[in-house]
Copies of this chain bind each other. A is one copy, B any other.
């Protein structure tokens, strides 16, 4: 179910620049009791992406109002908000005076096994690399072919996620999640200045590290550091926290700190599972 520029509908113009060029940004938001979690964080990032792309971001109140029209029952669900540069399907030049297009979609809560959050997941390392691209870094934009190609490297349902490296063999993130390593008292996560998406849950994890006695460090992390990590976990707004138990042949014990992070996020109503 969608609201497109405020109107209920199932379709968008075939001239939309989102289709032709991926010319837009998006957010994926967990909904509980009809309320979006971490709304301010999501809106800030959407607004920043629109600004970087040189398009106006619809006002927060407008999007919240439209979201409330879509979220009529109290179940958990997922809200996806896409903002594109609107009409203009041939020619890269953006026409002046064209209104951005906003597409709000409600999706069912995904049916990941509940043990993914409690017992952990098996993951792999993707062959597809993330390219360092300062023009696009930091924007949650609609050019997502790297992720699509990486995610389609495997069909084995027992593998829950794939890690992506950049062209310099540095760990960056999962296809749909951010990555954390715990080593002693250090909570490490990759720097995302050249590529990757700075997730909302990632930001919140970094903020609460001190509460549970961890030193948060944002830095370059090479693939080999997976071998010496005590704990590894993934996060995003929908999956919450997934402890990593297996990366290819390497096995990890259930993580005490990972569970502490998850409990803190649950208590603060930042994640739902």
Contacts and interface: CB of A to CB of B under 8 A. Distances in A.
A92 B19 contact: no
Interface in A1-60: 2, 4, 9-23, 26, 28, 53-54
A53 B151 CA distance: 12
Number of copies: 2
A136 interface: yes
Contacts of A13: 10-11
Contact of A135 (B16, B20, B23, B129): B129
Contacts of A11: 11-14
Contacts of A148: 17, 21, 23, 53, 85, 92, 94
A202 interface: no
Contacts of A2: 14
A218 B19 CA distance: 32
Interface string A74-89: 0000101010110001
A131 B128 contact: no
Given A10-B13, A14-B4, A53 B22 contact: no
Nearest to A90: B107
A31 B240 CA distance: 51
Contacts of A145: 21-23, 53, 135-136, 141-143
Interface in A91-109: 91-94, 103, 105, 107
B133 A131 contact: yes
A175 interface: yes
Contact of A19 (B10, B54, B82, B131): B82
Contacts of A82: 19-20
Given A93-B152, A148-B94, A21 B142 contact: yes
A17 to B, nearest CB: 8
A151 B16 contact: no
A212 interface: no
22 contacts: A4-B14, A11-B11, A15-B105, A16-B19, A17-B148, A19-B142, A21-B147, A21-B148, A23-B145, A53-B145, A54-B149, A54-B152, A92-B175, A92-B176, A93-B152, A94-B151, A131-B131, A131-B132, A132-B167, A133-B146, A135-B146, A135-B149
